């Protein structure tokens, strides 16, 4: 059942990877295990996991990078920077096999229902006039407005809005941090690892080789965090100036050719 579902949806997912839901990830993973040489399945698993489950996206991204021919293209796909060619855009995916889940509903099923309104009683204009006492509608006397209560309610609403905006900013910073960590992992593949060579004669050797955990190799860490210029910028945004200076000092040791550049960054932070 799951393999059939993946086969029917595969063509659609390759051209619409952002439409993959979190519930589709187990089916893609099962298909990837069944067809270990299918590069596209591993890329789709990495893309869907980074989109819906960023906390556990490190391993799928590593495997996709190990099997991908172009890791720059993989990074653009995960960052939503991939551009479709004009030829594909002009065809509008006319040859794509759409799964049953994405078929449009019949227009007749969306037609508005007809409503039969009940017949209203007729009103006579020649009824006897109402008594004068019934014609006058007395408005109930409203209690005086308590200004203190009103001000307290306004202040409470303002505080709730401030707390809500602060929580949203924290969530955005957390997501940006996770995204920066993922990009650093991909950068480590591009900088430190050679491109995949030609397919070997014995394909079993390729399958049995486990990808090296380059995240551990890459992460020269301080306090368990990734040391990179992007991480230093995030620390500055969060107001953690001392932490940012520590990261720049680590980068000066790691990249001595850019020592003057990082020293200028430290000087800017200490003079603010």
Q: pLDDT (tens digit, 9 = 90+) per residue, 185-235?
A: 777 666 665 454 444 445 454 445 455 444 444 444 445 556 888 888 898
Domain ranges of the chain: 2-92, 167-270
Instruction: Kindly give, in sequence order, each residue whose CB lies less than 8 Å from that of residue 272, ignoring residues fewer than 6 positions away.
Output: 241
Q: Per-residue confidence at 120, pLDDT binned at 50, 70, 90?
A: low
CA angle 33, 194, 234 (to 5 degrees): 85
Contact between 24 and 48 (Cβ < 8 Å): yes
CA gap 209, 212 in Å, rounded: 9
Q: pLDDT (tens digit, 9 = 90+) per residue, 175-199?
A: 888 888 888 777 766 666 545 444 4
Instruction: Kindly give, in sequence order, each residue whose CB lies less than 8 Å from that of residue 93, ignoring residues fewer than 6 positions away.
Output: 15
The CA-based diameter of the chain, rounded to the nearest angstrom, is 105
- What is the predicted pLDDT for the residue at 97? 47
Per DSSP, the three-state class of 222 is strand
């Amino acid at each position: 059942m799951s393999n059939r579902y993946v086969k029917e949806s595969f063509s659609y997912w390759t051209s619409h990877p952002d439409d993959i839901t979190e519930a589709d990830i187990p089916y893609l993973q099962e298909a990837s295990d069944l067809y270990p040489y299918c590069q596209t399945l591993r890329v789709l698993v990495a893309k869907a996991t980074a989109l819906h489950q960023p906390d556990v996206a490190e391993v799928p991204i590593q495997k996709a990078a190990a099997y991908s021919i172009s890791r720059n293209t993989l990074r653009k796909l995960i960052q939503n920077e991939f551009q479709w060619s004009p030829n594909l855009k002009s065809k509008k995916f006319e040859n794509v096999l759409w799964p049953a889940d994405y078929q449009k509903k019949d227009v007749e099923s969306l037609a508005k229902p007809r409503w039969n309104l009940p017949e209203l009683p007729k009103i006579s204009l020649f009824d006897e006039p109402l008594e004068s006492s019934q014609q006058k509608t007395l408005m109930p006397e409203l209690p005086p407005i308590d200004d203190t209560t009103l001000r307290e309610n306004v202040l409470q609403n303002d505080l709730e809005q401030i707390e809500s905006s602060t929580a949203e900013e924290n969530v955005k910073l957390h997501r940006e941090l996770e995204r920066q960590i993922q990009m650093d992992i991909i950068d480590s593949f591009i900088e430190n690892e050679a491109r995949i060579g030609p397919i070997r004669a014995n394909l079993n050797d390729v399958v049995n080789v486990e990808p090296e955990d380059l995240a551990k190799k890459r992460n020269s860490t301080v306090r368990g965090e990734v040391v990179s210029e992007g991480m230093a910028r995030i620390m500055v945004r969060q107001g953690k100036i001392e932490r940012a200076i520590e990261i720049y000092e680590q980068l000066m040791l790691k990249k001595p050719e850019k020592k003057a550049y990082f020293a200028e960054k430290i000087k800017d932070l200490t003079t603010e």
